[in-house]
Chain A
Amino acid sequence: MTAIPLTHILVLSTLLFFIGVFGFLTRRNLIAMLMGLELMLNSVNINFIAFNKYLYPEQIEGLGFTIFIVAIAAAEAAVAIAIIINLFRTTHHIDAEQADSLKY
């Protein structure tokens, strides 16, 4: 099996990251924004794994960070969804455009 070059993986993760950014900035639905956020986090994870495997195969810091980020992402999703649920309870929508009362 021919090895996949590092650049391919980096291109993949960059694509994933900017799809996430695009989703985060353009979707009105808060759940969809959260999904964009998850995409960004996971593209970073791919980077960590790839660099670890291709450049420093004898070390495991990249793996450690990845696990750490997965754990943080889980916690963050829990908090975000709690916020979204509360928003829905008070305003009966989860539209990011309309949730703009926190200003000035």
Chain B
Amino acid sequence: MPSLNNLLLILLLPFCSFLLLGLAGRKRLSPLAGILGTTSLFISALLSVHSAWTYFSSTSSHKPEVAWSMNWLQFSDSLSIDMGVLVDPISMMMLVVVTVVSFMVHLYSLGYMKGDERFTTYYAYLSLFTFSMLGLVVSVNLFQIYMFWELVGVSSFLLIGFYYDKPSAVSASKKAFIVTRFADLGFLIGILILGHGAETLDFNTLIARLTDPSSPWLGALSAGSFLGASALTWGLLLVFMGGAGKSAMFPLHIWLPDAMEGPTPVSALIHAATMVVAGVYLVARLFPVFAIACPVALDVVLWTGIISSVFAALIACAQTDIKRVLAYSTMSQIGYMMFALGLSGYGGEAGLGYTASLFHLFTHAFFKALLFLGAGAVIHMVHSNEIKDMGGLRKRMPVTHLAFLIGCLAIAGIPPFAGFFSKEEILTAAYAANPVIYWIALITAGLTAFYMFRLYYLIFWSRESGVSNAHPVDEHHGEGTISMKLPLLLLSVGAVIAGLVPFGNYVSSDGTPLHIHLHIGDAVLPVLIALTGIGIATYFYKTESSKPAKLMQSMRVFYMTLHNKFYIDEIYLFITKNIVFPLIGRPAAWFDKFVIDGTVIAIGRTTDRIAETVRVMQTGRVQDYALFFIASLITLAVFAIYLFH
């Protein structure tokens, strides 16, 4: 059990840094802001690693424990909302991932954001995000997770819209906020259903009550039926809807590619490594309920995951913006984690998918952050996000080149890089559970290798002359400062060795160590497919040629569909403009304007008219008043005499 003080410090350090930087104003602390934020995150990261180390090395069986909690809101005798710190394998793992990646991003931003006018504000937002994400990870109950969930959403909104003078950034931040809020509405309803049915919001109690087949709560929740599913299924599906919104699962993914308008380190932290996996974390947190009490909901997770995975991989092949390719690749990898959770069973060997999913979350955080930070370095040098402005950069940016290559190899699943191990576990679990899923996942793996290496070749090889004339390179800019190179190197190390962690010993669905055996035979096919993807990318993109253009011409319709992201954005626009606005928005506006406002105005007018009539009595003459007074007095006196005589 790690010491409680350390755990609280991990959370409070980023919070204090947020308060300090946020309140200090933009001028006063400017030179120090970066150092302050980075230092506090460095301490947090050290403490997290230390806590995780003590936790995983001391106890053999890892049951969730509440390290600290306080009663925050007491609704009734049985239902209360607590704030606390939950210690279990996945929260410890996530603490390490979040603080380490966040520290890397803080460090990297020292160079990347240098000279920005709102440098202090940027660091304040980063700290706020880190604090919220850590709070989310250690939440002890559904409501606490929901609060931090929203905080994370707000900080994501603030950071996407960080360049608020860019209209595209502003609309992207709004889009992200609205789409995730829409999903969170489902999450909230789900929380209320589960909380009402199980009469608790606390994770441990909730899981205990809903996984015991004889418990009255489970009976009550699964008894009724609404639109063909029990209350429990609806509750879990709605909770998953929140998770799917945050994790950019199809069809709630539309905000993620646009979110790339934010500064690149932010994309690395929020929209690649940490926040977008919150949905996976949420499902993993409630996994026993999904797996034991409601396999139907788990099937939905499975299919959402696999569809998002292959869907995003296809789109990523036809994007020309470096960050959008990475965004779709993130979505695809999160789809991998989701379907791995979806096909997993509870306990023992059947729980391999669960372990594999979280293992992939762990390794993905490293190599995806690495890829984004590498992309950031490229963008920093070229001043453009478009692939066509890049090419032949490998000699100018040797460190970035190496780091990016490692990232690509890791995500493509080439041994011995980190992605290989986690992806292999997922595929093994898929093979055991469902062959259809296995084959779709294999195709996705091939696509992943293809689009990542397409990106790699287009940035670093392709044109030998270097960069296009439109965006001349600052020669003295170089690859950026040491603070930008150091995180790349550290994360590269992470992307190489993270896969060697014996993850099954630490994280498993039921808390008992799971020994994972990888068979070399099983790994041959996936690796071959990944190598094929890389080979195709090499053939088309290693040197500049007309081959990709010809291929594009031959499959024009298909390519345009992919390039336009399956027209999902257009479908959303069509639905909002042609269905939601005229059928719901306008009538609602009419109702508001004429019925609600009308009532209020009518009340005001009536009062006014009555007052106009009555005020004639106010003549201003003393004797009139006296006459009224005396006349009424006499009337009252007469009444009194006749009534009480």
Contact = CB atoms under 8 A, between A and B. Distances in A.
Interface string B616-645: 001111110011001000000000000000
Nearest to A21: B630
Contacts of A102: 620
A101 B620 contact: yes
- Most A-side CB within 10 Å, residue of B615, B618, B620, B622: B622
A25 interface: yes
Nearest to A27: B623
Interface string A92-104: 0000110111111
Contact of A97 (B618, B621, B626): B621
A24 B623 contact: yes
A70 to B, nearest CB: 22
A94 B441 CA distance: 102
A102 B619 CA distance: 8
A102 B622 CA distance: 10
B618 A103 contact: yes
Secondary structure type dominating chain A contacts: loop
Interface in B261-291: none
Contacts of A24: 623, 626
- What size tier do the contact residues of chain B reach? 10 to 19
Interface string A70-104: 00000000000000000000000000110111111
Interface string B161-186: 00000000000000000000000000
Contacts, number: 28
Given A24-B626, A25-B626, A25-B630, A96 B615 contact: no
A41 B603 CA distance: 46
A4 to B, nearest CB: 26
A23 to B, nearest CB: 11
Interface residues of A, number: 12
B620 A100 contact: yes
Interface in A23-48: 24-25, 33
B621 A96 contact: yes
A102 B630 CA distance: 21
Interface in B568-620: 615, 618-620
Contacts of A99: 620-622
Contacts of A104: 615, 618, 620
A85 to B, nearest CB: 16
Given A21-B630, A25-B630, A96 B619 contact: no
Contacts of B615: 104
B130 to A, nearest CB: 63
Interface string A15-26: 000000100110
A101 B618 CA distance: 11
A31 to B, nearest CB: 13
A104 to B, nearest CB: 6
A100 B616 CA distance: 13
Contacts of B620: 99-104
Nearest to B631: A25
B154 to A, nearest CB: 52
B173 to A, nearest CB: 54
B609 to A, nearest CB: 15
Contacts of B622: 33, 96, 99
5 contacts: A33-B622, A96-B621, A97-B623, A100-B621, A103-B618
Interface of B: 615, 618-623, 626-627, 630
Given A101-B620, A102-B620, 20 more contacts: A21-B630, A24-B623, A24-B626, A25-B623, A25-B630, A96-B621, A96-B622, A96-B623, A97-B621, A97-B623, A99-B622, A100-B619, A100-B620, A100-B621, A103-B618, A103-B619, A103-B620, A104-B615, A104-B618, A104-B620
- A-B complex: 3 closest residue pairs judged by Cβ atoms: A103-B620, A100-B620, A100-B621
